[in-house]
Structure 1
Amino acid sequence: MNRDTDVLVVGAGPTGLALGIDLARRGVAALVVEKAQALFPGSRGKGIQPRTMEVFDDLGVLGAIRAAGGTYPVGMIWQDGRRAGEHRMFDPAESSEDAPWNEPWMVPQWRTQQILRERLEELGGEVAFGQEVVGLTQDEDGVRAVSASGEVITARYAVAADGGRSTVRRLLGIGMTGETVDPYPTVVADVRISGLDRDHWHLFPPGRAGDDFLAICPLPGVEDFQLVARFPEGTTPDLSLQGIRKVVAARSHLAPESVTELCWASDFRPRAALADRFRSGRVFLAGDAAHVHSPAGGQGLNTSVQDAYNLGWKLGAVLREGADASLLDSYEEERRPVAADVLGLSTRVHRGETRRGEATRQLGLGYRESSLTLETRPGPGPLRAGDRAPDATVAGVRLFDAFRGPHWTLLVLGDAQAPEPGGRTRVVRGPAPGAYGPGLYLVRPDGYIGWAGATAAGLPEYLARFGLR
């Protein structure tokens, strides 16, 4: 059997599903394939950072994500079966007009993926399960992928979103450079457990060796807890129900039978690694296929979804809007430095060298140095081209409402003047809110300021680069 599509997305994790949604709403034919027979079943990537909340708002899933999750609970430190103190996982932050979601939101990864899949299918997209890509070739016209079942899929472009052990990355011959963040094997499991309240993240500190840490966190919207346990170097953890019970009994005041059910378990060695390239011809790497993080700080899933968000509008511009294919060169240019910075942050959080604070919320990430960024004002203020476009209200219009959708947005603020740009660009005119200041701001489909000016000089030429004139 042969199939043909515009974009083949390999992997139905958060990255592949988010990319599928973005392409579907742009009218780009995309097929998401997954080698497993179902979506990932565990809670592993449970933290959604404020910037990703903004992305999910644009993709049309924020309401479901908010309903499925909750705030992070305060940590409860246990010592010898007694409550010995509290610990806050994240520095506190207040929401504001320019950043309406300013704290992490906890949703089990399996539930996030369910929500993304439902949205993808609502838009007419498709996930094909049981399709393991085992061969991949490409030429100047497209990509040819072969599945283990013998099916051949041809596409104009392909995206490897198939995780840290990416088969597609291996087929492309792209290496990864990294380091071991922590030598201790770690188990993460979803369990049903009695004897602990659901108002706290229960922490059982390690002994002097530091290799017997245990944390048990209630997951919102379900009866499960996520258990994380660290083991001595060289250990092969027992992932069975009996093995999990033994760990809980040894490291807490709970009896083995307190663990009533094991829903899912996995082990890993925390590491940080970055792909040497994010692109090979017509094939792109995104998510864990491009960068592998320590789970500390909740950065991996979020950086991965934002890879998809960056790539989706560019593929749409090339495939549907007449933009030059060279636009796709900017994906690696923009995302690889971000991934490298976030990898360093995750590692520092894991090692206790920095707290989970402003940087981990990812609202400060941007593309000031990108070749797509053009700042023409002689004296720009703190908000510059390349930065995330903040929320605000202009002449009764909420900007995040104006940004929502697969289009560009031109903000004409204060005394600035600009003609109607036409095409697929929405215009908002009005007084300049404090987060911006007067001037012209052209906001990209992914919510970053691509061009900024005091006058409209140069704006038509900039728009033309993206097929917008």
Structure 2
Amino acid sequence: MSSVLVVGAGPTGLTLACDLARRGVALRIVEKSPSFPRSSRAKGPNARSLEVLEDLGVVGRILDEGCAPLVMRKYRDAVFVADTDPHAGCRPTPDAPYDRGRLIPQWKLEEILRAELAGHGVHVELGVDIVSYEQGADRVVARTSRGRRIEARYLVGCDGGHSGVRALMGVAFDGTTHAEQVMVNGDVELAGAGSPSRDRWHQWFDEDGAVMLCPIPGTERGWWFQASPERDADGEPLAASRESFQRLLDRHARLPGVRLRDAALLSTYRVNVRMADRYRAGRVLLAGDAAHVHPVAGGLGMNTGIQDAYNLGWKLAAVVTGQAGEGLLDTYEEERLPVAAWALKTSSARLDTVMEAIRQPGGGLDAGITDDTSGLGLGYRWSSLSPGAASRDARPSAGDRAPDAPCADAGNGGPVRLFDRFAGPHFTLLGFGGGAVPALEQVAQGQFVHPLRTCAVDAGPHGGLRDDAGHARAAYAVQGDALVLVRPDNHVALITEGHRGDAVLDYLRLLGS
């Protein structure tokens, strides 16, 4: 019997599986499709997801095989209007090494995550459709469409907006479908001397529709195609097709001699704004689009799912390995459901902003990109895992994302980032100042079951890290001696005085109860 059965092998399910596997959790991950879907609708991870993927050890490949977000070139009546770079003023900072997301096709991101998972000896099982399950006192027994039984201690539905697991749970998926807001999508190849340049995301907006072409990184001729659909005499949208895409391109872009040589993954997208009313029913949980769907504006869909998985992974691992009691799983919904509600509200607002912007010459998709869509500002101050959380304006606080900072190794002087110390399936305790060293030693010798790494900062002869430029102290607003406990998902658990090792021990022991 496995400890966890992950249903669905998209970015959310694969992120969860990678996180569990590196923690030594026995798991299976199944996908009902008979082959790996070559979906590329999601255009890539945002800045916060890149931090997660760095922790999982795959960000190097993503940076290599993707590309930075492109300048958006906008047209009106097929005439060039403006180039806009929504990230023009962004720069990496000491506390945030990624100032923007990365463009990479979803299928490539999934391929990278599958390779990482295979390195842990876990492989996706294709063609496995879960059609029912029963819960017992210590396990879930799932049944497939072929009559097979799969037993696991927990089951997590990461199987998308049409989640079969969610339906089996009987969880409501409340919200609305905006039938009037429709888009057709596909991956296309262009041929012809007049093809647009591949260093821009081209956006043609007219009074009667739009076409958007974004080059797919890692391909020579591949483009993401998005457009408002053709409609029949009754105003109903026509199905996506290569022929329809060609007509839309001719109508709005007016590129003589440019033909769609190929078109695949054709789909029609209707805006849905829906959210599960709960994320857990006993030993069965939901994550990603199975728990929430919302407009694509702002690029929050896949990224919210990745964050769901990152939040759930360490908690589920702690429970199945005996490091924590069942109650820790309740904090998954406590922390992530409000974030999903925020994502629905934010993406809906961004969509309204985009729809208004494209009515004006020079307006485009950049109107949907704001600082809050980076994911860097999201945290869990309301959580029961964030004791002593500060007021809304003060930062940092328990519950907040744990910032990065460049430091130096106190022994050899080499560069070390705080993220280097955070990386891995453990809590991290930072002890600022020599006065915090006894507390670090006290905690390191404490009797608790959670894996923990201690790290002294500016502790003189006691080693650890040197914060010569003061970036670490600035990031955590630390003056004098202090202790900062960082959760395995790189959120701040606790900030306290440098001598309060007992407060850290109490926190860790409480999680284990």
Please tell me the TM-score bracket, short chain as reference.
over 0.9
Q: Which 10-residue stretch deviates more, 215-224 or 87-96?
A: 87-96
User: How many angstroms apart in 1 are the aligned matches of 2:138 and 2:317?
Assistant: 17
Partner of 2:180: helix, strand, or coil? coil
Indicate the residue corresponding to 1:427 in structure 2.
Answer: 454
Runs of 5+ consecutive residues of structure 1 not aligned to the other structure: none
Q: Which 10-residue stretch deviates more, 90-99 or 296-305?
A: 90-99
* Counterpart amino acid of residue 218 in structure 1: P
Q: Deviations over 1:223-259 (max 9, x none)?
A: 3100101136753433222222122112221257521
The alignment covers a number of residue pairs equal to 461
Q: Is 1:101 aligned with 2:98?
A: yes
User: How many angstroms apart in 1 are the aligned matches of 2:435 and 2:422?
Assistant: 20
Indicate the residue corresponding to 1:127 in structure 2.
Answer: 124
Indicate the residue corresponding to 2:419 in structure 1.
Answer: 400
Give the 5 Å matches for 1:2-401.
Answer: 4-90=1-87, 92-181=89-178, 183-194=180-191, 195-207=195-207, 209=208, 212-223=209-220, 224-231=222-229, 235-255=236-256, 258-352=259-353, 355-375=368-388, 382-396=395-409, 397-401=416-420
Offset at 1:55?
0.1
Runs of 5+ consecutive residues of structure 2 not aligned to the other structure: 355-366, 410-415, 459-471
Structure 1 pair 376–187 and aligned structure 2 pair: CA distance change class (3 A): closer
Structure 1 pair 90–343 and aligned structure 2 pair: CA distance change class (3 A): farther
Indicate the residue corresponding to 1:459 in structure 2.
Answer: 504
Structure 1 pair 376–145 and aligned structure 2 pair: CA distance change class (3 A): closer
Q: Deviations over 1:414-448 (max 9, x none)?
A: 35521332362111111352111141111000000
Partner of 1:141: helix, strand, or coil? coil
Q: Which 10-residue stretch deviates more, 14-23 or 237-246?
A: 237-246
User: How many angstroms apart in 1 are the aligned matches of 2:299 and 2:87?
Assistant: 11
User: How many angstroms apart in 2 are the aligned matches of 1:178 and 1:92?
Assistant: 36
User: How many angstroms apart in 1 are the aligned matches of 2:87 and 2:185?
Assistant: 20
Partner of 1:202: helix, strand, or coil? strand
TM-score under structure 1 length normalisation: 0.94
* Counterpart amino acid of residue 361 in structure 1: S
Partner of 1:268: helix, strand, or coil? strand
Q: Which 10-residue stretch deviates more, 316-325 or 115-124?
A: 316-325
Q: Deviations over 1:290-333 (max 9, x none)?
A: 00021111100000011001101001111114311111110000
User: How many angstroms apart in 1 are the aligned matches of 2:490 and 2:153?
Assistant: 26
* Counterpart amino acid of residue 26 in structure 1: R
Offset at 1:10?
0.5
CA contact (8 A) 1:216 1:226 kept: yes
User: Alignment partner for residue 486 of structure 2, among 443, 448, 453?
Assistant: 443
User: How many angstroms apart in 1 are the aligned matches of 2:491 and 2:72?
Assistant: 35
User: How many angstroms apart in 1 are the aligned matches of 2:349 and 2:435?
Assistant: 44
CA contact (8 A) 1:184 1:232 kept: no
Structure 1 pair 256–146 and aligned structure 2 pair: CA distance change class (3 A): farther
CA contact (8 A) 1:79 1:204 kept: yes
Offset at 1:410?
0.1
Q: Deviations over 1:264-304 (max 9, x none)?
A: 21111012111111111111110000000211111000000
* Counterpart amino acid of residue 427 in structure 1: T
Offset at 1:182?
6.5
* Counterpart amino acid of residue 388 in structure 1: R
CA contact (8 A) 1:59 1:405 kept: yes
Q: Is 1:412 aligned with 2:410?
A: no
Partner of 1:367: helix, strand, or coil? coil
Q: Which 10-residue stretch deviates more, 13-22 or 349-358?
A: 349-358
User: How many angstroms apart in 2 are the aligned matches of 1:218 and 1:269?
Assistant: 23
Partner of 1:106: helix, strand, or coil? coil
TM-score under structure 2 length normalisation: 0.86
Partner of 2:197: helix, strand, or coil? coil
CA contact (8 A) 2:390 2:397 kept: no
Offset at 1:179?
2.3
Between the aligned residues of both structures, percent identity stands at 41
Structure 1 pair 253–416 and aligned structure 2 pair: CA distance change class (3 A): farther
CA contact (8 A) 1:317 1:466 kept: no
CA contact (8 A) 1:376 1:453 kept: no
User: How many angstroms apart in 2 are the aligned matches of 1:202 and 1:162?
Assistant: 32
CA contact (8 A) 1:323 1:467 kept: yes
Q: Which 10-residue stretch deviates more, 388-397 or 158-167?
A: 388-397
Partner of 1:374: helix, strand, or coil? coil
User: How many angstroms apart in 2 are the aligned matches of 1:428 and 1:205?
Assistant: 53
Q: Which 10-residue stretch deviates more, 134-143 or 105-114?
A: 134-143
User: How many angstroms apart in 2 are the aligned matches of 1:21 and 1:320?
Assistant: 16
Structure 1 pair 182–215 and aligned structure 2 pair: CA distance change class (3 A): farther
Q: Which 10-residue stretch deviates more, 216-225 or 361-370?
A: 216-225
Instruction: Give RMSD over aligned pairs.
Output: 2.0
Q: Which 10-residue stretch deviates more, 439-448 or 261-270?
A: 261-270
Indicate the residue corresponding to 2:469 in structure 1.
Answer: none
Structure 1 pair 92–187 and aligned structure 2 pair: CA distance change class (3 A): farther
Offset at 1:260?
1.0
User: How many angstroms apart in 1 are the aligned matches of 2:433 and 2:295?
Assistant: 45
User: How many angstroms apart in 2 are the aligned matches of 1:416 and 1:347?
Assistant: 49
Offset at 1:197?
0.7
User: How many angstroms apart in 2 are the aligned matches of 1:168 and 1:161?
Assistant: 8
